[in-house]
Structure 1
């Protein structure tokens, strides 16, 4: 949430007496998010092949024979899990409290095994696609996929697909980067290389794949985006055919009825292109999107990760937090002070902090129980993920303590592929199952977990007490990671009203009760305990907690979520602090509003965000929430500046170039690096380039800046550069640096 000079905004709103047309008020969630808005979700991540075999007839299909291992001893071949298996277990997932399932990629993967030093390997995981418009035959068909969507809806479960935008399949083995378009062969990596033409400035290519070798310097932004991730054939999204193919493929899944997209390896894809991808998606359907950006808090490119999430309309998986959680709860190499610092860091850095996707286990990291044998600590870290700011992900089998502790070729105990065992137990009585179920219910019942800000109430080496608060709603969580000794704390402040509060978990993780007197409490926390206390208030006014998506243009459907909107339709107002626009409301309920983004909105100077406010039918006005307004349909444009040597734009180590300009997408002339587009890339010094998402068929004026990360830029002197963007495809403009 971001409020902006609410008093001034309210004054503007008081001058507005225009009512807008609205739909008939109803009670349930909006049509865009029939299972509730994403911040209330509990996501369950499934590796399809390892979940449940619901249809044995597709285990060894004729199209790709010999890739199935019925003995389940080769961990890199197919084991039989399929879409029918997920459908069969929907009642189980519903009982667990799951509201969204993130499934591994369903695209048609390569049809041959690759012979490696580790033995035969197949694309059972889904990340070796060859045809993005065909469903992998080991998993099912388009009809099976449609059935999954339909059956999941009956249990109020949303389906999230895993979309691979960075690459196809291995470039040096198997089918050698073979790529098909709905069954028709397009190219492969060796064939594509025959027509490679290297651009002198971007060092990228005009063909389907980039042919720059593998990444060797993981701190070089150009390498990270324009070289192969390991040996995977790297897409050139700036090729118009690739741009169109990936977007058209996505549209097929949107048509099927998915509610979310997890984007693989977004760190390795041009952020400017990804923003145009998000714009394309949101113009078709309002879905929740989040990307994988592998990063730690201490790396320089953590800055890039934050900027991407704040600017692209796509959230990210909170990988930096997961690394801290492992150190605190599994290894004991960090303390609760470090966890507190991590929470403060990400909640202050990310504009929409509650849209970050939190996890402890995944298909990419060893499972917690392979790193630590403490079931108690595992329960504690699960409880933290379920209550911390962000959307929780439960990796399949965590509720059954699933893990396998063999050592892989990289020396990781329980690492890939051993973090992907076959699901074998469906016990609904485990403590982990009960814990997840209880906290999933709390996420739906108390909006403090979905929308609340976080406040540290007490922290020591072993104890962390944090509070989530959304207006009058409060959830207070206390964790004592000391497994042997109780810890007494005294006179701890809380927003809970005075009274006695029992542990919401009913002592499941050894929790206890508290008595709040005068806004404070004292308590002795049992060893290895998690206590959760909560209070639900009656809304005193309209409380806005979420907006989905966080970015859009005129005509897009956007959902506001919160509480206290009332049963009668009111207004949705968009303001830039000086002017205000009314949006057409298409759906209204007490907790959810759907509206159409109006045209003609202008954003403030040096910014690309406006504020969205709900005005209830009785005139009560809500808090404001930030929304990124796009000025038109987005296309990618390559902006180049040549010959910077000897000019104001010549840099020294630690400095970068940035792009700013006359449209919101170019930050409305902001000199701040948190707003301007960049950092630009320089693979062919003294020439720089950046890919920006800008409105099609639009006259733009622009300039370049010089600044360090996080700084404010030194302007390029002279007149503004000018460019009219094309109506479609990929644009490109190249200028010589002003002196």
Structure 2
């Protein structure tokens, strides 16, 4: 049997001036006669001979790859030759044929992604449901009619149970000043960055039906409250990302104006200057987002739409990146659907325009796309820095721990299948991009993870450890850390229970410990990620950077054990358990792990 080890991080990949020194480790009885580093530095195949050195029962192969200006992404794999056969090695292991270009190891040098993101712990807030300042700007029952719901808006007391009826018209009074007041709580949790669901003026509670892109909703405190929040977040060094809804507007936006609040909205005036900004059927109905008439879809075939959203000097995208708000990034709602003439035609071109506009205002701003499906087309195209990582993290974790798929249908997935899913999805993404993919257990669009687990506290703790140790930037959905439950929308949007007697204190303490560990550990924030063992109920992976290694073991059902042979990814010790109750012993052949049922254990070795 032949084993191979490589990760696209130091000490396996080391920059030396204008070259990358790349190392592959092999161990086995039938070592190859020759090993090549295969790369395409000028879009043509190069096979670079790798020099071999013996080292403690293994063999180390090294070669250098020259860095070319204007070509930041270096993709490579390894070719092994015997007298009458060959094998290839890439991120997904062995193959008898060359890995496809987008399934090879990849390193961005220089890495043009925002440098700060990988070090963060994000926290997602649905503004109406997190905290209320009690200010006079708070909405009151009957303040206005929510036309999409056909009812007057409703104001509830914070403790009132959330109901399904008129959910989009029901408000609890959360606002931006309430968020500002709770920053000390978030700091104690370990949060360093905020992602807010939409805050701009809109009639619904969710605000995805934008009425004015240039005004923060007055019931959230208006633009002045956003300025106050920015002052407060800057004081504590906390980043802020806002939700940009540019695929569609609300039907009360002046450009559309279904409810005749103005004089020239597109809905009722075929000669409106905004008529071409939307698409209309012959019967006069506007094309909307997924059958929601209150969300008419913008038509980016009309140049003025692109001018208003991102291209113009005073466009929406640019406006909020500038002082006094100076937000740190945009989360782009249903980004893959945006396009021309009622569909997604021209999608990549317009997203490239949005991306360019953002980077012109702030090269370090974060551009995050929402995708429930495969986001790699957009990531490889370079039109976003990262995706909400449903496909690469949330869905496989849900399948493994909760036994449910994206549609909440039952699914059986063992550890090997889960590892294959997660590793296969990220294979070919440059390491720097993997570090900033947006990992969540749940969000405003899904049932709460604790509910999917049917209240299983042990598995929720497993999920917490997994979230804060897997490659990518973690984000907590408000309330997850204290055990807030809830089914699909609207019940995943309950008010945060500020009575500490309602909190799961052990879960909160675990999140705090893992957040502190991640802050201390370069390996967890910026290191490589390698699954070392995946079988049945047991999944073990290591995060590594330079001489630091963090070992994470997840045991789903029953007690389990794993034998990890010595290899270049595992230090000879000493290993220190920093979380959980599993046992690790060092043997002549490697590491032996003993794991308890429904547990997550973390060990750390700093060489």
TM-score by length of 1: 0.58
Q: Residue 437 of structure 1 corresponds to which residue in structure 2?
A: 512
**Does structure 1 residue 237 correspond to structure 2 residue 300?**
yes
Quote how far apart the aligned CAs of 1:189 are. Answer: 4.7
Note closer, same or farther for the CA distance 1:186–1:125 as it changes in structure 2 (3 Å cut). Answer: farther
Deviations 1:274-296 (A, max 9, x none): 1111101111112111110121x
CA distance in 2, matches of 1:166, 1:41: 28
Quote how far apart the aligned CAs of 1:431 are. Answer: 2.1
Note closer, same or farther for the CA distance 1:206–1:148 as it changes in structure 2 (3 Å cut). Answer: same
Quote how far apart the aligned CAs of 1:436 are. Answer: 1.8
Quote how far apart the aligned CAs of 1:371 are. Answer: 2.0
Q: Residue 335 of structure 2 corresponds to which residue in structure 1?
A: 266
* Secondary structure of the structure 1 residue equivalent to 2:427: helix
Note closer, same or farther for the CA distance 1:186–1:143 as it changes in structure 2 (3 Å cut). Answer: farther
Deviations 1:405-456 (A, max 9, x none): xxxxxxxxx1111110010136487222222222222222212122222211
Q: Residue 191 of structure 1 corresponds to which residue in structure 2?
A: 268
* Secondary structure of the structure 2 residue equivalent to 1:293: coil
* Secondary structure of the structure 2 residue equivalent to 1:190: coil
Q: Which runs of 4+ in 1 moved over 6 A?
A: 2-5
Q: Residue 501 of structure 1 corresponds to which residue in structure 2?
A: 575
Q: Residue 614 of structure 1 corresponds to which residue in structure 2?
A: none
Note closer, same or farther for the CA distance 1:136–1:531 as it changes in structure 2 (3 Å cut). Answer: same
Q: Residue 382 of structure 1 corresponds to which residue in structure 2?
A: 464
Pairing 1:255-294 to 2, within 5 Å after superposition: 255=322, 256-269=325-338, 270-285=347-362, 286-294=364-372
Q: Residue 521 of structure 1 corresponds to which residue in structure 2?
A: 591
CA contact (8 A) 2:576 2:605 kept: no
Q: Residue 317 of structure 1 corresponds to which residue in structure 2?
A: 388
* Secondary structure of the structure 2 residue equivalent to 1:503: strand
Note closer, same or farther for the CA distance 1:522–1:81 as it changes in structure 2 (3 Å cut). Answer: same
**Does structure 1 residue 6 correspond to structure 2 residue 20?**
yes
* Secondary structure of the structure 2 residue equivalent to 1:146: helix
**Does structure 1 residue 102 correspond to structure 2 residue 195?**
yes
* Secondary structure of the structure 2 residue equivalent to 1:237: coil
CA distance in 2, matches of 1:186, 1:475: 63
CA distance in 2, matches of 1:360, 1:342: 16
CA contact (8 A) 1:109 1:136 kept: yes
Of 148, 155, 166, which aligns to 1:69?
A: 155
Note closer, same or farther for the CA distance 1:350–1:322 as it changes in structure 2 (3 Å cut). Answer: same
**Does structure 1 residue 453 correspond to structure 2 residue 528?**
yes
Q: Which sections of structure 2, spanning at least 5 residues, go unmatched? A: 1-7, 22-63, 70-112, 146-151, 339-346, 404-410
Deviations 1:341-382 (A, max 9, x none): 122112204232222111111000111222222111111112
CA contact (8 A) 2:248 2:288 kept: no
CA distance in 2, matches of 1:519, 1:472: 20
Note closer, same or farther for the CA distance 1:193–1:45 as it changes in structure 2 (3 Å cut). Answer: farther
Deviations 1:247-276 (A, max 9, x none): 212222212121121111101011210111
* Secondary structure of the structure 1 residue equivalent to 2:267: helix
* Secondary structure of the structure 2 residue equivalent to 1:309: helix
CA distance in 1, matches of 2:67, 2:210: 55
Pairing 1:284-683 to 2, within 5 Å after superposition: 284-285=361-362, 286-295=364-373, 302=374, 305-311=375-381, 312-320=383-391, 321-331=393-403, 333-351=412-430, 352-372=433-453, 373-404=455-486, 414-425=487-498, 427=500, 430-482=505-557, 485-493=558-566, 495-505=569-579, 507=580, 511-516=581-586, 520-536=590-606
CA contact (8 A) 1:496 1:519 kept: no
Quote how far apart the aligned CAs of 1:130 are. Answer: 0.9
Q: Residue 169 of structure 1 corresponds to which residue in structure 2?
A: 250
CA contact (8 A) 1:498 1:515 kept: no
Q: Residue 174 of structure 2 corresponds to which residue in structure 1?
A: 81
Pairing 1:12-23 to 2, within 5 Å after superposition: none
Deviations 1:451-474 (A, max 9, x none): 222211111121100111223221
CA distance in 2, matches of 1:5, 1:275: 30
CA distance in 2, matches of 1:493, 1:425: 48
* Secondary structure of the structure 1 residue equivalent to 2:198: coil
**Does structure 1 residue 129 correspond to structure 2 residue 204?**
no
CA distance in 1, matches of 2:67, 2:352: 34
CA distance in 2, matches of 1:480, 1:145: 44
Larger deviation, residues 447-456 vs 362-371? 447-456
* Secondary structure of the structure 1 residue equivalent to 2:491: coil
Q: Residue 49 of structure 1 corresponds to which residue in structure 2?
A: 128
CA contact (8 A) 1:457 1:465 kept: yes
Quote how far apart the aligned CAs of 1:186 are. Answer: 8.6
Larger deviation, residues 235-244 vs 135-144? 235-244
Quote how far apart the aligned CAs of 1:383 are. Answer: 1.3
Quote how far apart the aligned CAs of 1:47 are. Answer: 0.2
Q: Residue 644 of structure 1 corresponds to which residue in structure 2?
A: none
Quote how far apart the aligned CAs of 1:228 are. Answer: 3.2
CA distance in 2, matches of 1:314, 1:395: 21
CA contact (8 A) 1:263 1:291 kept: yes
Note closer, same or farther for the CA distance 1:9–1:432 as it changes in structure 2 (3 Å cut). Answer: same
Note closer, same or farther for the CA distance 1:228–1:186 as it changes in structure 2 (3 Å cut). Answer: farther
The Cα RMSD (Å) is: 3.1
CA distance in 2, matches of 1:518, 1:468: 23
Deviations 1:599-652 (A, max 9, x none): xxxxxxxxxxxxxxxxxxxxxxxxxxxxxxxxxxxxxxxxxxxxxxxxxxxxxx
Quote how far apart the aligned CAs of 1:323 are. Answer: 2.0
Q: Which sections of structure 1, spanning at least 5 residues, go unmatched? A: 14-31, 111-122, 197-204, 215-225, 296-301, 405-413, 538-739
TM-score by length of 2: 0.69
**Does structure 1 residue 143 correspond to structure 2 residue 212?**
no
CA distance in 1, matches of 2:68, 2:545: 25
CA contact (8 A) 1:206 1:239 kept: no
Larger deviation, residues 38-47 vs 518-527? 518-527
Q: Residue 95 of structure 2 corresponds to which residue in structure 1?
A: none
Note closer, same or farther for the CA distance 1:430–1:340 as it changes in structure 2 (3 Å cut). Answer: same
CA contact (8 A) 1:457 1:493 kept: no
Quote how far apart the aligned CAs of 1:238 are. Answer: 3.2
CA distance in 2, matches of 1:471, 1:213: 63
* Secondary structure of the structure 2 residue equivalent to 1:129: coil
CA contact (8 A) 1:158 1:259 kept: yes
* Secondary structure of the structure 2 residue equivalent to 1:504: strand
